[in-house]
């Protein structure tokens, strides 16, 4: 039986929905520079690091999901943990017109990156907002909360980049943005999913209350090539 596409989500995305953003080979692919620094192997059980080396610079931080093999001596694992991969299992959320969310694009990149710097929501770069639909809430010209889409296939779409500036937390803004994205994805015929690091018990409880359920535990690593 073939593995589920979400057991190797980066490769499934880079070889399908996001192939236009990919650099690499038939063995390994990464998002082109400027997009989220994520890569994936076609066969995680036989990871080909020689194939990925030409597509990354020395010391460049890259993220890999779903690969747990032995790290070659010329690579350094800086983060080695697990995440809960969660699928939407709830009903269609109600529309929330009062949220006043704005579709984010290239013109908003300075505000987006300022929020990313303040909140550290995970792998994010200047062109990440082009990988899917991103929405944000503004107070004046200041972006105070956002959420959007990262990895995906025809049938599944990852909700990612969920963050709220510390000055505006506890107002439910991120949850409302996530519900809006869930509504959009369900209308497309896609099942929303997301990843929550194992130690983030608070976020996992929030997502469970919203309607997400654990699909599997998946390895999450941050690496760099040392030589």
Q: How far is CA 147 from the centre of its chain?
A: 10
Dump the DSSP string for 95-129.
P-GGG--EE--GGGHHHHHHHHHHH--SS--TTGG
Are 45 and 97 in a shared domain? no
> Where residue 1 falls among pLDDT bands split at 50, 70, 90?
very low
Of 95, 88, 145, the C-alpha closest to 116 is 145
Owner of token pair 């596409």: 5
What is the extent of the structural domain holding 137? 86-216
Burial of 131: CB neighbours in 10 Å, binned 0-12, 13-18, 19+: buried
Burial of 46: CB neighbours in 10 Å, binned 0-12, 13-18, 19+: exposed
pLDDT tens column, 125-152: 999 999 999 999 999 999 999 999 999 9
Are 74 and 129 in a shared domain? no
Are 15 and 119 in a shared domain? no
Alpha helix stretches (DSSP H) within the chain: 9-14, 49-52, 109-119, 173-188, 201-210
Are 111 and 187 in a shared domain? yes
| CATH code where residue 28 lies | 3.40.630.30
Do 212 and 182 contact (CB within 8 A), yes or no?
no
Say which residue, 89 or 71, is predicted with more confidence. Answer: 89
Q: How far is CA 112 from the centre of its chain?
A: 15
Are 77 and 125 in a shared domain? no
Taking the C-alpha atoms of residue 147 and residue 139, their distance in angstroms, rounded to an integer, is 16
Do 224 and 39 contact (CB within 8 A), yes or no?
no
Look up residue 87 and give its two tokens: 């699928």
> Where residue 75 falls among pLDDT bands split at 50, 70, 90?
very high
pLDDT tens column, 9-41: 999 999 999 999 999 999 999 999 999 999 999
Are 128 and 51 in a shared domain? no
Q: For residue 62, is pLDDT > 80?
A: yes
Taking the C-alpha atoms of residue 50 and residue 54, their distance in angstroms, rounded to an integer, is 8
- Bridge-based pairing state of the strands 62-65 and 38-41: parallel
Are 96 and 206 in a shared domain? yes
| pLDDT value, residue 2 | 57
Are 125 and 199 in a shared domain? yes
Look up residue 68 and give its two tokens: 């747990």
**58 φ/ψ sector (left φ>0, alpha ψ -120 to 50, else beta):** beta
Are 70 and 99 in a shared domain? no
* Mean pLDDT (whole number) for 104-110: 97
Are 98 and 167 in a shared domain? yes
* Mean pLDDT (whole number) for 148-170: 97
SS3 157: strand
pLDDT tens column, 168-225: 999 999 999 999 999 999 999 999 999 999 999 999 999 999 999 999 999 999 999 9
Domain total in the chain: 2
Are 139 and 193 in a shared domain? yes
What is the value of pTM for the model shown?
0.94
Are 172 and 70 in a shared domain? no
């Amino acid at each position: 039986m073939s593995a589920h596409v979400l057991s190797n989500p980066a490769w499934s995305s880079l070889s399908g929905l996001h192939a236009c953003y990919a650099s690499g080979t038939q063995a390994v692919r990464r998002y082109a520079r400027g997009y989220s620094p994520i890569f994936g192997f076609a066969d995680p059980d036989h990871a080909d690091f020689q194939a990925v080396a030409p597509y990354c610079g020395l010391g460049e931080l890259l993220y890999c999901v779903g690969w747990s093999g032995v790290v070659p001596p010329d690579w350094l694992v800086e983060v080695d943990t697990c995440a809960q991969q969660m699928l939407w299992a709830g009903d269609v959320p109600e529309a929330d017109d009062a949220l006043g969310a704005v579709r984010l694009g290239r013109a908003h990149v300075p505000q987006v990156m300022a929020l990313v710097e303040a909140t550290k929501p995970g792998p994010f770069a200047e062109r990440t907002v082009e990988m899917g639909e991103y929405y944000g809430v503004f107070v004046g010209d200041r972006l105070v909360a956002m959420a959007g889409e990262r990895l995906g296939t025809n049938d599944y779409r990852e909700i990612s980049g969920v963050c709220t500036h510390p000055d505006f937390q506890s107002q439910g803004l991120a949850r409302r943005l996530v519900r809006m994205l869930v509504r959009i994805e369900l209308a497309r015929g896609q099942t929303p999913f997301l990843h929550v690091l194992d130690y983030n018990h608070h976020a996992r409880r929030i997502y469970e209350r919203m309607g997400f359920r654990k699909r599997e535990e998946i390895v999450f690593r941050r690496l760099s090539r040392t030589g």
